[in-house]
A and B are shown apart, each in its own frame.
Chain A
Amino acid sequence: MSTNYTYDYIIKYIIIGDTGVGKSCLLLQFTDRRFQPAHDLTIGVEFGARFVDVEGKKIKLQIWDTAGQESFRSITRSYYRGAAGALLVYDITRRETFDHLLIWLEDARQHSNSNTTIMLIGNKSDLESKRAVSYAEGEAFAQQHGLFFMETSAKTADNVEESFVDTAKDIYEKIKQGVFDVSNESNGIKVGGHLQPKTLPLNTDNGNNCC
């Protein structure tokens, strides 16, 4: 594999939540720093990547953006296991997308690694006049279930950067504390060759280096 160390860590994320809450727009705002009002709905899974800097470490975020409709749930589930971070998104202007959070959370908890960091995101914060879920409610839900919480706007980019980066910070903290078994890529973290212990075989291509 790579001999020039382009990254210190690769961390995998998954974005989940009801259809139409703005998952793809959040990803696009984060990776391309733009908002696309007219776009096609996600069928299956889409993919994006970007580097972020956490404590001087070059961290590449590989992000899988999933379709929200139930028909695609079986596909979504197969992505949970390989993700160290999950962004669970609802739309603050559509109450039902908030009401479905428990279903999503149950799914995530059942299928993901128990150490996965979950960030709850109330998206579309720019649409204050159409708000149907208060900030306090979102915050309370997050506290109750041990999630991080932020309200974002994929349109204005408000808090988008922060939501992805803060998730990375928490995961990096867990890496430092040895919470994750980073020798096993299926936990959603890959360590740059130069950071791996010398005793381990150097980053043999075991077929897990997705993308």
Chain B
Amino acid sequence: TSLRSKIWKHFLGVYHVSANEYVHLIKKGKSCVYDKVRNDTFRTLATDKKFLERVNEEMLIRVLNALAWKMKSFSTCGNQPITYVQGMNVLAAPFLFTMSEIDAFFSFATFIQTCCPLYVTPTLQGVHCGLKLLDQCLQILDPKLFNYLKSKNLTAEIYALSSVLTLCACTPPLEQVLKLWDFLFAYGVHLNILCVIAQLILIRDQLLEAQSPMKLLRTMPELNAKSVISLTVQLVQQIPDKLYDLLVRHPFDSSVENALKKKNQFT
């Protein structure tokens, strides 16, 4: 995992970490989101024994609370400040599992600020855009599956929210999540949307046969990074350029929201 730690930092562009800064942020004590954080940290990958062995709750609390202080002096996306939203606890978990606490903190902070700042705004703007894009992509990639799910009133907003918001970190096992994240950090976190579609296509037959597909989607099947990644790479090629451009920008560019409001642009 120390190799993965180095590679993730490289992909994210984290070339400098400061123990002094981290200690300073911790010394500031409870931030305004401390209670919220405390209410969620013990419910983070709570059934994953390997995770619980390596990462204790205190580490998660420190990282999330310190991030809240750091973000106070830093607002990336116009007037929507980054604070703490549920899901960030899950996003922080793979970093703490892979890296030392200080590396994890700076990598997580950089990841939030640069890769997907719009995923953690108070309205989860980027997540909602990602879910709309997921629907649009699925409609193009697998219209039969899309229409079947739609006939059951199942849109991405209902079945894919946690997979999108947490970049699939909510789907066990964690070691497969880490492999998926290797891919996402190397080629862009926007690809997670297609990774979720790949997971659907992998159980396509079962979904199409199911009277109640939501029962299957209630928890996604265990993650197999290799098959998800190889399918995702195939899917990329089938996405029209304009749509792909929105997909790339949706985690960090707030203009995507308006572009998506233009109805049925791609269908």
Contacts and interface: CB of A to CB of B under 8 A. Distances in A.
- Which size class do A's interface residues fall under? 20 to 34
B46 A40 contact: yes
Interface in B70-116: 85-87, 89-90
B231 interface: no
A69 B44 CA distance: 15
A38 B46 contact: yes
Given A47-B218, A207-B153, A40 B87 contact: no
A73 to B, nearest CB: 9
Interface in B117-163: 122-124, 128, 150-154, 157-158, 161-162
Contacts of B128: 74
A200 interface: no
B86 A67 contact: yes
B86 A41 contact: yes
Interface string A157-189: 000000000000000000000000000000000
A40 B44 contact: yes
A211 B85 CA distance: 28
B45 A19 contact: no
Chain B binding site: helix, strand, loop or mixed by DSSP? loop
Interface in A67-123: 67, 69-72, 74-75, 78
Nearest to A38: B46
A211 B165 contact: no
A210 interface: yes
Nearest to A69: B86
B215 A211 contact: yes
A209 B85 CA distance: 32
A43 B44 contact: no
Contact of A75 (B47, B153, B157, B166): B157
Interface of A: 2, 19-20, 38-41, 43-49, 67, 69-72, 74-75, 78, 205, 207-211
Given A41-B40, A70-B122, A210-B214, 20 more contacts: A19-B86, A20-B43, A40-B43, A40-B90, A41-B43, A41-B89, A43-B166, A44-B161, A46-B218, A47-B215, A49-B212, A69-B85, A71-B123, A71-B124, A75-B157, A205-B151, A209-B152, A211-B213, A211-B214, A211-B215
12 contacts: A39-B47, A40-B46, A40-B47, A41-B40, A41-B43, A43-B86, A43-B162, A47-B215, A49-B215, A72-B86, A74-B123, A211-B153
Interface of B: 36, 39-40, 43-47, 85-87, 89-90, 122-124, 128, 150-154, 157-158, 161-162, 165-166, 170, 211-215, 218
